[in-house]
Amino acid sequence: MEYRNRLVLAPMVRVGTLSFRLLAAQYGADITYGEEIIDHKLIKCDRRLNERIGSVDFVEKGTRNVVFRTCHEEKNRVVFQMGTSDAVRALTAAQIVKRVSKLFDVLETGEIAMLLCPKFSATISEHLWIQSENECGTELNVHSSGCKDVAAIDINMGCPKSFSISGGMGAGLLTRPELIHDILKTLKRNLDIPVTCKIRLLKSSQETVELAQRIEKTGVSALGVHGRRVADRPRDPAKWNEIANIVSALSIPVVANGDVFEYDDFQRIKVATGASSVMVARGALWNASVFSPEGKVPSEDVKVEYIRKSILWDNDIKSTKHTLKEMIMHHSCLELPEGKAVIKSETLADLAKLYGEEKYYESVRGNQLGCSKEVDD
């Protein structure tokens, strides 16, 4: 994955699901982070191919709870962000979203395989490099190049929430450089996709620079920096000057994050910090078309497009409502009719009706009825 000159959707809890990531990409985001998933939770998941909607789902064992959902369309730009405080557990979780499917485990490198089904052969060729051994093509030499569901793995080292810090995750890692080194080196040694992390500022600029330099030595592909300290609140201005200090001390790409609300801000923060790329959170949440060089589209249009993607990818209703409420609160308030109707909605069908997308909902659901199969992988 290329980390220079990229517009990046930041990880956002309860927001960064597949539907919102695809929305941001539609408007111009080059890299899209998923919401943070705790390693403990992912380890308890099974990988399933959801043929009904065409997604790859990581489902909590013994339940129907989808912990992480992705699809082929985003596999070269989606970053899986993980919450962890243990190197071995982090690797175990990472290998679940970055591995060769069990379907292909029986095909060892160089093994001759008899592929009798053309459809099966086409499926395998998406994941493996296949060299024909004879003219008819029935006997093949299969070289595993590995298949992946995500483009990169990122470790969350910036979340200031008490849940993360008390568990030694998120910003709780910032004062444990040895553990940071252990986690990142373990992932780098064992994965063949980019590994990155995202941090916040420490108490002094010099401390942050020193930590960033230690992180760079682990071999990570890039470093994300939120220009606020753990105690800072969103209303506190991001310290772009301290991000600049980090950029000048490193040779790897730095992704700057903080106070990007308009398209012009992407260039402003790049000039001010020298960062390779720029990440945006609230600016994208309030209007995902912030990524468009043509300028923002009306927020009403963005909400409708988000509803359509939530319907298409069967987004969790709680996540969908949470994201819509955040959009509404920035431009209006939840006490007005739209906000009250969103709060009252219990299903995606209710939201489709509220935003005039009943026909789209019926069309999508009708098409999906014939493909309701889930396949354990």
User: Which residue numbers are catalytic?
Assistant: 159
* Token reading at 22: 């695809």
Q: Would you state the structure tokens that stand for residue 233, as one six-digit string?
A: 């609140």
Return the DSSP state at 296: P
**Strand, coil or helix: what is 275?**
coil
DSSP-H helix ranges across 191-277: 205-216, 240-249, 263-273
Residue 350 burial (CB < 10 Å; 0-12/13-18/19+)?
A: middle
Alpha carbons 227 and 245: distance in angstroms, whole number:
11
Strand partners, 78: 32
Half-sphere exposure (CA, 13 Å, Cβ side) for 374?
10
**Residue of 262, 194, 264, 260 lying closest to 225 (CA atoms):** 260
Cβ of 282: how many Cβ atoms within 10 Å? 17
User: Considering only CA atoms, which of 233, 147, 237, 222 is closest in space to residue 188?
Assistant: 222
Please provide residue 130's backbone torsions phi and psi, each rounded to the nearest 5 degrees.
-120, 125
d(CA 265, CA 263) in angstroms, rounded, equals 5
Rounded distance, CA 184 to CA 197, Å? 8
